[in-house]
Chain A
């Protein structure tokens, strides 16, 4: 306290920050494996989707009435890319339905553009190879993670919110809306919205995306009769697989945005080395001369 007080204030801040070992090695490792898997799975999935860019509800495809479809058509003004949702058409030229080929520079009819897919060109067979290979790694990694969170007590200790935290959820929502992040002792734990979001992703979205994916396999359909109907049928499963993937994408966007808001270097370091510098307590800071 006393030595530091004599140092220039900027250095006091840096030195005063308490460091905690926030993420253990298995969690860090599994996090980054998951990053690679989800990236490849989303992008190869979009290439697969492009082979039939329409979604339906139910057992089979009602080709005339998908609830959402992407495409391109010729107009007197030239080709137009469209996204059609429940009968309403939106001009999405340039990105969805019609986009420019990087090789020829000419407009191509394809649902998702080359920069969103793996591989870049429309190539269903290759996209499937990528998708299924990384799906295995993703599932094995996910199972190991869930086992780890349970047996290391990571789940109980860090992810499940306490009753007090749940009671103060309103406060947490207001803080998030103000882009205010917990400091000092409160920052040693995930905040309540954060832990609830992680729980929904880990035990909701991720299993759902896998189950809906498995429901599209004709052989797994035969595991026991009618299980695919629990999801509403195979085409509903394809729709759920797609929507859940975009739910996960939404999570990733918010997650990465929060990392930037909360301090990108500190957050990145904590997920690489494990060490996280606790943001200084606002009250303490004000008390300083």
Chain B
């Protein structure tokens, strides 16, 4: 009797081991499968196609004029967190920074009838918008800051976009991978569509929390596209270029992080 009992227990134990082993094997096969799928181009393209659905759905429920929430002065964070480049080492930027950005000029060109350049003083002389908004990083954190700047819409009107222009590309000063010896361009760039470019809250900011924009937050000029994630808010803007498509611009995906695999649409 006792012997049968022990045998039964042993069998149960074996079965438990077997089950546990099988579960572990199935688990790691599943994980390995997911990792292999993450390397499969057509599978990843399928996964990424969800962003078109998200964007279309979000444009329906939060249409073009819908406003991002604005906050009160009490909500402003004491220090606005900086992320990405904190102090560009690029020679042209360093020269401008050391001169207090006196020689800075924003060039606006590409598919426009009248390309133009704007000094900081010219930008500051234009009607300004101040907004206290929440910055949402793709990593998951949020920070509230008070921004002052000039709306992008009127600047675009000034240069008269050609009918074929579809996107606004921001060219930045900061090389993301340091000064490159082989001449590879790794300067930050970003892009938005005309819906966002003409949005009331889309500004080129030159002030943060009533102070000139700090270097770590993108001095002298950064973009605020309030209804998208942090990586869309280009810092250290050098030039603005209107284009019909991203083909021929670096990785062809419309932005530095987009070329690294992130979604072009950063509303989610």
Q: At the interface, yes or no: B67 with Cβ under 8 Å from chain A?
A: yes
Given contacts A59-B144, A60-B75, A128-B263, contact A219 B44 (CB under 8 A): no
Neighbouring B residues of A54 by C-beta, 8 Å: 141
- Contact: A218 with B138, CB < 8 Å? no
- Contact: B142 with A52, CB < 8 Å? no
- Contact: B51 with A132, CB < 8 Å? yes
Q: Which residue of chain A lies nearest to B196 when distances are taken between CB atoms in the complex?
A: A219
- Contact: B69 with A226, CB < 8 Å? yes
Question: What does the 1/0 interface line of B71-105 toward A look like (CB < 8 Å)?
Answer: 10001010001000000000000000000000000
The secondary-structure label for the interface of chain A is: helix
Cα–Cα, bound, A197→B71 (Å)? 39
Q: At the interface, yes or no: A225 with Cβ under 8 Å from chain B?
A: yes
- Closest chain B CB from A260 CB (angstroms): 10
Neighbouring A residues of B69 by C-beta, 8 Å: 221-222, 225-226, 228-229
Cα–Cα, bound, A256→B253 (Å)? 44
- Contact: B46 with A218, CB < 8 Å? no
Cα–Cα, bound, A130→B257 (Å)? 17
- Contact: A130 with B61, CB < 8 Å? no
Cα–Cα, bound, A51→B261 (Å)? 15
- Contact: A217 with B268, CB < 8 Å? yes
Given contacts A49-B140, A218-B267, A238-B140, contact A126 B66 (CB under 8 A): no
- Contact: B62 with A223, CB < 8 Å? yes
Tell me the A201-235 residues at the B interface (CB within 8 Å): 216-223, 225-226, 228-229, 234-235
- Contact: A60 with B50, CB < 8 Å? no
Question: What does the 1/0 interface line of A26-56 toward B look like (CB < 8 Å)?
Answer: 0000000000000010010000110110100
Q: At the interface, yes or no: B12 with Cβ under 8 Å from chain A?
A: no
- Contact: B228 with A219, CB < 8 Å? yes
Given contacts A132-B54, A222-B67, A223-B62, contact A125 B229 (CB under 8 A): no
Q: Which residue of chain A lies nearest to B201 when distances are taken between CB atoms in the complex?
A: A222
- Inter-chain residue pair count (beta carbon < 8 A): 133
Point out the residue from A59, A126, A219 that lies within 8 Å of B58, measured CB to CB.
A219
Cα–Cα, bound, A120→B32 (Å)? 8
Q: Which residue of chain B lies nearest to A127 when distances are taken between CB atoms in the complex?
A: B38
Cα–Cα, bound, A124→B138 (Å)? 9
Cα–Cα, bound, A20→B31 (Å)? 36
- Contact: A120 with B144, CB < 8 Å? no
Interface size on A, residues (CB 8 A): 43
Cα–Cα, bound, A234→B81 (Å)? 16
Chain B's interface size range is 35 or more
- Contact: A218 with B66, CB < 8 Å? no
Q: At the interface, yes or no: B118 with Cβ under 8 Å from chain A?
A: no
- Closest chain B CB from A195 CB (angstroms): 29
Question: What does the 1/0 interface line of B50-64 toward A look like (CB < 8 Å)?
Answer: 110110001001100
Q: At the interface, yes or no: B260 with Cβ under 8 Å from chain A?
A: yes
Neighbouring A residues of B51 by C-beta, 8 Å: 132
Cα–Cα, bound, A216→B142 (Å)? 10
Given contacts A133-B47, A228-B69, contact A52 B35 (CB under 8 A): no
Neighbouring B residues of A151 by C-beta, 8 Å: none
Neighbouring A residues of B143 by C-beta, 8 Å: 60-61
- Contact: A220 with B35, CB < 8 Å? no
Given contacts A125-B262, A222-B68, contact A115 B27 (CB under 8 A): yes
- Contact: B226 with A218, CB < 8 Å? yes
Q: Which residue of chain B lies nearest to A135 when distances are taken between CB atoms in the complex?
A: B50
- Closest chain B CB from A40 CB (angstroms): 8
Beyond the given A120-B31, A125-B257, A220-B58, please list 15 additional residue pairs across the A-B interface where CB-CB is below 8 A. A51-B140, A61-B141, A119-B35, A121-B35, A132-B268, A133-B48, A133-B50, A136-B50, A216-B136, A218-B227, A218-B229, A218-B268, A219-B267, A221-B62, A221-B134
- Give 4 closest A-B pairs by Cβ, nearest first: A219-B267, A125-B261, A222-B66, A129-B47
